Amino acid sequence: MRSPKRPIALAAVIAAVLVAAVAATAATATHRSATANDTLVVDKSFDLKTSDPQRQYEPTGGIVDRGLYDTLLKFQGADVAHPAPSVATQFKASKDARTYTFTLRKDVRFSDGTPLTSADVVFSFNRLVNLKGNPSFLLAGITTSAKGKYTVVMKAKTPNPAIPVLVANTSLGIVNSKVVKAHGGSDAADADKTDKAESFLNSQSAGSGPYILKSYSTTSQVVLTRNPNYWGATKPKFANVVIRNVNSAAQLLNIQRGSNEVSLDLSADQAKGLSSKSLTIQRTPSANVFFLFANSNPKVSTISSNPHIQNAIRYALDYNGYVHVAGSGAARATGVIPSMFLGALKKSAINTDLAKAKAEVKASGISSPKLKIEFPSDITSNGLSFGVLAQKVKSDLEAAGITVDLAGSPVATSLNTYRAGTEELGLWYWGPDYPDPNDYLVFLPGQTVGLRAGWAAGSYPALEKLGVKAGSTADPVVRAALYKTIGNDLNAKSPFYPLVQPGQVVASSKNLTKTTFNVVYWIDVTAVGSK
């Protein structure tokens, strides 16, 4: 789905088509020469800012740094709920989920042959915090120290059972502390002002991963080449990995013409015409959850805050219809926690019931209720337009007797009203900061997103108490059960209505293996192989 556009002059359309054709031709020519040898090519529309692991927090940077830097733990395949050993062979968590002790391998070597020790982990994590950049929040309230040469201890001010998944994030990639310091790097408290290592880390890597950095550009392509000193038993599958900045139109051409090719930005519509004989097409739900909310603050709206109106909305929504609108690969959002995360619900107990919705409108005592729905009108996610979803919401609610006015605005404007908590109805999505259910406690009363929906602290004491318990529980089985209870309670009694997880398409050459989409890495270039 695409956002509605203003009419464009014919000349502009022709010019745009010519530009796209030229770009596609150039990309294809590059593709043919790149894949003539032992090279993996990954096409991605760049959001790349840096390859410095402690500074990067964009998907393209994560793809790059997955190849260059090892982490304490790692994710395998699409599983982001159960991190596996990597540099750390094991870890132990205290009962209160505040202290985590990691035991390191003793055979890990950086690309220059230097042994990796606990000092490098401490330097990397302290540098992440003190650079005060986009990913610094990942370790907020957490201190890291060494206990001997091969033991790392992480301590959180408050219980934090998410630490095992946090350390698998590529922003926590472990750098060679001696090399980074020699090129201006710092982990001191003022590193945000004194660290000068970014330019060096954008010219060559200082990691222990299976690849090293050969060339780097934020606008064209990044080339990784095999690390000849890689310590792992499983050696890099390809001599080179080329990650290219290519738009979806060019990606569609490239994926059909070459081998050793992966495309990450095709829409569900673009993927429909691709051949399954020569390509592997994976359509999976993304971790983005689109949701609607009704403001519970009576000062904002006496209509949206009415409990019967909120229930009417809950039962008027045609949940299966949103999956249809989102297209191939999409799935119903069973709750605010995405389907691939720990604690996600397998299905929702809430189903469309128009008769019940109409009865709730009548019970509200409000004659001819009318609401305004606000949403960002100029952006899409996974090819899904907020405007199209808003039209669907309007249709569903009006079938139950609630009149809806559409009030889309540019995201810069709509973000202000959303964050201020002044929208009667809001249509938004939540993308995970990290793959753990703790990231979704923001939907509870008094928390970040809860307040945006006018859901003040004290609105649901039992649920709030349950959230505190879930957020501080270490045992994964107990955590999962707690979060499922929270999910069911949110679905039944909150002002939030999870709608859909749109589809994510990954297209790859038939000869490639392990090209599974991962919500943290997107594509794990260290795992991709060839038949």
- Give the Cα separation of 311 and 307 in Å (integer): 6
Domain range list for the chain = 45-240+506-530, 289-501
Q: Report the amino acid identity of residue 184.
A: G
- 105: which 2 tokens? 């391998």
- Given a contact cutoff of 8 angstroms between Cβ atoms, the answer to whether 393 and 291 are in contact is no
pLDDT (tens, 9 = 90+) of the chain, 531 residues, equals: 223 322 233 333 333 333 333 344 444 444 444 444 699 999 999 999 999 999 999 999 999 999 999 999 999 999 998 999 999 999 999 988 999 999 999 999 999 999 999 999 999 999 999 999 999 999 999 999 999 999 999 999 999 999 999 999 999 999 999 999 999 999 999 999 999 999 999 999 999 999 999 999 999 999 999 999 999 998 999 999 999 999 888 999 999 987 899 999 888 888 888 988 889 999 989 999 999 999 999 999 999 999 999 999 999 999 999 999 998 889 999 999 999 999 999 999 999 999 999 999 999 999 999 999 999 998 877 778 899 999 999 999 999 999 999 999 999 899 999 999 999 999 999 999 899 999 999 999 999 999 999 999 999 999 999 999 999 898 889 999 999 999 999 999 999 999 999 999 999 999 999 999 999 999 999 999 998
CATH class of 45-240+506-530: alpha beta
* Pairing label, strands 39-44, 261-263: parallel
- Given a contact cutoff of 8 angstroms between Cβ atoms, the answer to whether 360 and 481 are in contact is no
- 391: which 2 tokens? 């039209």
Q: Please check whether the two domains, 45-240+506-530 and 289-501, share a CATH topology.
A: no
How many residues can be counted in the chain? 531
Query: What b/e sequence results for 411-421 when a residue is b if at least 16 CB atoms lie within 10 Å of its CB, and e otherwise?
Result: eeebeebbeeb
The pTM of the full predicted model, rounded to 2 decimals, is 0.82
- 263: which 2 tokens? 């495309």
Three-state secondary structure string covering 213-247: EEECCCCCEEEEEECCCCCCCCCCCCCEEEEEECC
Three-state secondary structure string covering 149-210: CCEEEEEECCCCCCHHHHCCCHHHCCCCHHHHHHCCCCCCCCHHHHCCCHHHHCCCCCCCCC
- 211: which 2 tokens? 């690849």
- Give the Cα separation of 414 and 391 in Å (integer): 17
Fold of the CATH domain 289-501: Dipeptide-binding Protein; domain 3 (3.10.105)
